[in-house]
Structure 1
Amino acid sequence: MGFGENISEEFKSRNFSIYGQWTGIVCVFLCIALGIANIFHLGLLILFSIICLVCGFIIIFIEIPLLLRICPTSPKFDGFIRRFETNYMRAAIYLLMSVIQWISISVDVSSLIAAAVVLLIAACFYALAGIKGQAFQGSKTLGGQGVAQMII
């Protein structure tokens, strides 16, 4: 099965955790790009930019489990990341990250609002998956069970 067919199959599954995971990948790019773009502001917005950057890197490890196997990380960090294996825990972390970026508006209105919106969408997808009782289903394209098992 090709790359495009694999992704197409995943989206046809109607499992909201797949939608959340792919939205999370968009969040990675947004958080890193907007964190860098806004870090040059003066004042408290720098803090929110740094938090956005850190969130982007945390999301990489949450959404691409293969990286925990190939990147040298500490057992404490691995344990922290493994807390977010369920839909509800992922919804919670995305919601927390989103709220932090929404709070940045009180300091200065910036493009960090885009990160807040997309983080909130990812939280909604994971919450919907939890509410509908859908088991978390990781994308095979992003290093889910199929890819991770090949590395061992």
Structure 2
Amino acid sequence: MTIADELRTRNFSLYGQWIGIISIIICLAVGIATIFTFNVGLIIFSAVCIVTGLTLIFVEVPFLLRICPVSPNFDTFVRRFSNNTPRALFYLGVALIQWFTLFIRGSSLIVAAVFLTLASASYAIAAFKKQEFTTSTTLGGQGLAQQII
């Protein structure tokens, strides 16, 4: 199944996963860019944004848990997000953290907050519609093992 075929399925968990992948890139980029400011509050929020991006890599690309050495505690933490509702709540939590940067000063971290909120909304819609949690075959979901062999 190609990416275009997956997006035509109208399964919002797939939309959430792809928005999550975009969020990873944005979190890492704006986190690194903002860490060089001279505002201590923004430096803290940008470090949190970088850690969020790195955590989301393992949440959204389950294949990486098999090939990267991670601690059992981290593995257990990441596996908690194997359904739409927990993922929606996780994304909402990290999005709220980034939205709090507005209390300090407007910065590019708001872009990360917007995309994290969109991913949360996608997973929440999937949960509300009671759609089956599905991961992309491109990103390590069902069928990747057959593609490798």
* TM-score interval, normalised by the smaller of the two chains: over 0.9
Q: Please say if residues 102 and 113 of structure 1, whose CA atoms lie closer than 8 Å, have aligned partners that are also in contact.
A: yes
Percentage of identical aligned residues: 53
- Paired residues in the alignment total 148
TM-score, length basis structure 1: 0.94
Distance 1:139 1:123 in 2: 17
Which of the numbers 70, 85, 91 marks the counterpart of 2:88?
Answer: 91
The residue aligned with 2:56 is 59
Question: How far did 1:112 drift?
Answer: 0.3
Q: Which residue identity lines up with residue 15 of structure 1 in the other structure?
A: N
Gaps of 5+ in 2: none
RMSD (Å) for aligned C-alpha atoms: 1.4
Large movers: runs of 4+ above 4 Å? 148-152
Which of the numbers 37, 46, 50 marks the counterpart of 1:49?
Answer: 46
Q: Please say if residues 23 and 122 of structure 1, whose CA atoms lie closer than 8 Å, have aligned partners that are also in contact.
A: yes
Alignment of 1:1-152 (within 5 A): 6-42=2-38, 43-148=40-145
Distance 2:55 2:81 in 1: 11
Gaps of 5+ in 1: none
Q: Please say if residues 18 and 137 of structure 1, whose CA atoms lie closer than 8 Å, have aligned partners that are also in contact.
A: yes
After superposition, the C-alpha distances for 1:37-75 in whole angstroms (9 at most, x for unaligned) are: 000112211000000000000110000000000000011
Distance 2:146 2:63 in 1: 9
